[in-house]
Amino acid sequence: FRVLLLNGPNLNLLGSREPEIYGSDTLDKIEHRLREHAESMGITLDCRQSNAEHQLIDWVHEARTSHVDYIIINPGAYTHTSIALRDALAGVAIPFTEIHLSNIHAREEFRQHSFLADIAVGVICGFGAQGYDFALQAAKHFLSKQ
Ligand code: DQA
């Protein structure tokens, strides 16, 4: 299986960004661990991060032509603002998981609405970096039973 991991704006700052909310692991460390985890499950994992909405959208479009089976996406603040990213994910019709390090429901009210969640297979939030491992496991489970 081919899985694409997308991280959106400001997630390149993980490790130093509000560590009391987002933890102390860097994105590099998370991606490295996840690639090893994926390999042991027979999954090819492609990891990308961008601060730009258009770049994330282009990668979602590209996922269809490169036959990606599943997308794991932490859209950062675009979760709460981007109808365009929602339309891209709906457009390619690739099953995806929305993930957040923090529990967005326990934070400011403006974080409690997601433009993506209702078209996702599922949402994982509040488990910090470990959530990415859960998301990978969930993707594998979803793809294996198809
Ligand atoms: C986040 C939650 C978002 O509300 C926030 O804008 C982020 C990170 C998370 O992983 O907890 O950038 O997606």
**Residue ID of nearest Cα to ligand 1 atom 8:** 76
Cα-to-chain-centroid distance, residue 26 = 15
Q: Is 10 in the pocket of ligand 1 (CB under 6 A)?
A: yes
When pLDDT is cut at 50, 70 and 90, the band that residue 146 belongs to is: confident
Is 46 marked as binding a ligand? no
Position 1 pLDDT exceeds 90? yes
When pLDDT is cut at 50, 70 and 90, the band that residue 44 belongs to is: very high
Burial readout 18-31 (b: 16 or more C-beta within 10 A, e: otherwise): eeeebbebbbeebb
- Of the candidates 70, 78, 100, 132, the residue annotated as catalytic is 100
100 is catalytic: yes
Position 86 pLDDT exceeds 90? yes
Which atom of ligand 1 approaches the CA of 11 most closely? Answer: 12
Q: What does the alpha-carbon distance between residue 59 and residue 97 come to, in Å, rounded to a whole number?
A: 16
At 20-43, the pLDDT tens digits run: 898 899 999 999 999 999 999 999
Fold of the CATH domain 2-144: Rossmann fold (3.40.50)
Position 83 pLDDT exceeds 90? yes
22 is catalytic: yes
At 93-143, the pLDDT tens digits run: 999 999 999 999 999 999 999 999 999 999 999 999 999 999 999 999 999
Is 80 marked as binding a ligand? yes
Q: What angle do CA 87, 91, 95 make, to 5 degrees?
A: 100
Q: Is 76 in the pocket of ligand 1 (CB under 6 A)?
A: yes
Given the cut 0.95, state whether the ipTM is greater than it.
yes
Domain ranges of the chain: 2-144
